[in-house]
Structure 1
């Protein structure tokens, strides 16, 4: 079972990547996996927020809990070359 310290370590590791471009893979159930590019925008005590790349004028944001990362329902990959992605 996940402890508070484990979730705190996940949050601290995400804080080091604030503002960086990431690839987000989220399991939405029934074999539906979405893959989006975005920027890690905010880190809160219970959740983190990703600003997604959008094709239109509007911008969308999604939030997930740290337990989603722990259970592998959500996976994040930080781009090594931070010039690859442009999010408005």
Structure 2
């Protein structure tokens, strides 16, 4: 069983990425894997929210709990820095 301390450590490890581009890989069951890039928008006591642009005029917000990361249902990875055009 996950302790409250473990979930707090996961939250603290995610907080530096607020406002930055991240890659989400989520297991939706029955061999369905959702992979998307978005912006980590908010971090709350029990959940975090990622804003995903599906089309130029369509924005979707997806929330996950820290226990999703603990159980490896969701993986959250920072996107590599974008190279500036010279």
Q: Same fold (TM over 0.5)?
A: yes
Match of 1:25 in 2: 25
**More strand per residue:** 2
Which entry has the higher C-alpha Rg, 1 or 2?
Answer: 2
Number of residue pairs aligned between Structure 1 and Structure 2: 83
Residue matched to 1:53: 53
What is the match of residue 36 of structure 1? 36
> Alpha-carbon deviation of 1:53?
2.5
Specify every segment of 5 or more residues in structure 1 that has no aligned partner in the other structure, as ranges: none
1:56 CA drift (Å)? 3.7
How far 1:79 sits from its partner (Å)?
Answer: 1.3
Which 4+ residue blocks in structure 1 deviate beyond 4 angstroms? none
After TM superposition, give the deviation of residue 54 of structure 1 in Å.
1.8
Q: TM-score, normalised by structure 2?
A: 0.91
Q: 2:23 & 2:53 partners in 1: Cα distance?
A: 10
What is the aligned-residue RMSD (CA, Å)? Answer: 1.2
Confirm or deny: 8 A CA contact 1:36 1:53 kept in the other structure.
no
